Amino acid sequence: MAGSGVSSSSSSSHPRFLRFISVPHLLLLLALLVASTGNPDGARGKASLRLNLRSFLEQKTDISSSSKASRSCISQRSRQRNGAIILEIIHRDHCSGQKTTTWYDEAEKTLTSDDARVRSIQSRIKSMISRKKDEVSELQIPLTSGIKLQTLNYIVSVALGGRKMSVIVDTGSDLTWVQCQPCRVCYTQQDPMFNPSISPSYRSISCNSSTCQSLLFEAGNSGICSGMSPQSCSYSVTYSDGSHTRGELGLDTLSLGTVPVNNFIFGCGRDNKGLFGGASGLMGLGRSSISLISQTSAMFGGVFSYCLPSAGAASTGSLVFGGDSSVYKNSTPFSYADINLNQEMPTFYFLNLTGVRVGGVALESPSFGNSGILIDSGTVISRLQPSIYRALKGEFLRQFSGFPSAPPFSILDTCFNLTSYQEVDIPEIKMHFGDNAQLAVDLTGVFYFAKPDASQVCLAVASLTYENDVGIIGNYQQKNQRIIYDTQGNKLGIGKETCSFM
């Protein structure tokens, strides 16, 4: 097997020591050493994950080729179990439409867009802090990576006013919105655009209503009347990277599978621009009163969870509303951590990052336990404080040694050329939160492949610019985990789960 070998050790470097080992014991020792290594110097006997590069890349290539076949982006399959509605989620690569860009260009575009989102989040957090100082039942729907819609994130299919549409799942946002006709400035979406004038259940929200005033206050806007319709309640959500959605708030029936959510408040976007790919809009899973979670708290108890499938894989995941654990397929027990209640940023989900282990080795950093880290379904690559990232990078390179290096790629600066290897052993990365919770990063979440021949494979974690920036756990490191958000109990649960709709 290419890439296998015997790592150096104290016993193998001292012939005098070997004289006292019998031949059978020596053969056993050598066999154990070989079995424990999958790279030139091995994983130093630490906890590692074995990655078959050829199989992984062949799977990615096959899926890329199959994307040329026409297929609807809106999932049609659903099933019910123990009161839960389960809708299928498919990956964007399985939607209709042929890619015109190369693997390298797509990979670079993803990271560039992701960097813009992170900068937007950091700016939003700082703005919220500044503004604060100035002011003193069970439902499961399918979830898939949004690659098929040329968006960074994962998408689900819902219905609004009886019309099916695909929306991005975003725990870092509160307002659920879709593009609406007539649209002044709208990006190209794959599904038909929502038209409130033909929805029998649509109603507008008056700009002088208490609902408009309170909801827009939470979103950082003042209640104003739309120029388009004096009686409507305008909203505007703008990001520092230039992305935005603007329109008016309305009420309609949102269908999550077969479960209706009547009088659901959402944004009818008339002017939308940004990193939304071909999705119809966005599903806000934050914590403010305008979010989907808050609006359905009487139905689902403020509990939701998801399992994000591997990007590029022909697998599906699921988004579950409610706390019935019988629908979960976790292979490890759930560990729980408290969700930090940050009064300056109350709508985000923060955890206390207390440690990180690489191949079983505990890292050291003054930032552990001193600042919250944001868990976000919309960010792709995790961002760590510089001191934590330096420690992680150093230990990873120490254990994953002997491989040819490759140039940095976009925001990723730890890259390797693995074209000569069929299998490699990768040090396992574990993040620890609070007293007991931990997230063991899935095999597919450790490396980011910039090129399909494995000539530029990078550690899929990046450093923040400043130590006081807010760390983020991105969706790339959340893959094949069941993440449970209990907003009323202020707890977050993590359990290993191979994502599958069926």
- Report the catalytic residues: 170, 376
CA-wise closest residue to 245 among 235, 253, 232:
235
Task: Enter the tokens of residue 354.
Answer: 């207390």
> 54 in helix, strand or coil?
helix
Cβ distance 450 to 456 under 8 Å?
yes
CA distances to 297, 456, 471 from 349, rounded to whole Å, are 17, 33, 12
C-alpha atoms less than 13 angstroms from C-alpha of 242 in its C-beta half-sphere: 5
Residue 48 · residue 400 · CB < 8 Å: no
Annotate 370-409 with DSSP letters as a single string.
TSEEEE-SS--SEEE-HHHHHHHHHHHHHHS-SSPEE--B
The Cα–Cα gap between 414 and 407 comes to 8
What's the residue count for the chain? 502
CA-closest candidate to residue 46, choices 35, 36, 58, 57:
36
Helix (H, G, I), strand (E, B) or coil at 438: strand
Residue with tokens 């989900």: 349
- How many CA atoms are closer than 13 Å to the CA of 140, on its beta-carbon side? 30
Question: Can you tell me the distance from the alpha carbon of 466 to that of 463, in angstroms, rounded to the nearest whole number?
Answer: 9
Locate tokens 């408040």: which residue? 265
Sheet holding 405-406, edge to edge: 405-406, 415-416, 457-459, 447-449
Partners of 435 in beta bridges: none
SS3 track for 314-374: CCCEEEEECCCHHHCCCCCCCEEEECECCCCCCCCCEEEEEEEEECCEECCCCCCCCCEEE
- The bridge status of strand 415-416 relative to strand 203-204 is unpaired
Torsion, Cα of 339, 342, 343, 344 (10° steps): -140
HSE-CB at 305 with a 13 A cutoff on CA atoms is 28
Residue 452 carries which DSSP code?
T
Give whole-number Cα distances, 147 to 191, 213, 310, 327, 445, in Å.
15, 37, 11, 26, 16
Residue type at 1? Answer: M
CA distance 271 to 276: 13
Cα–Cα dist 421/160, whole Å: 49
Q: Is 427 helix (H, G, I), strand (E, B) or coil?
A: strand
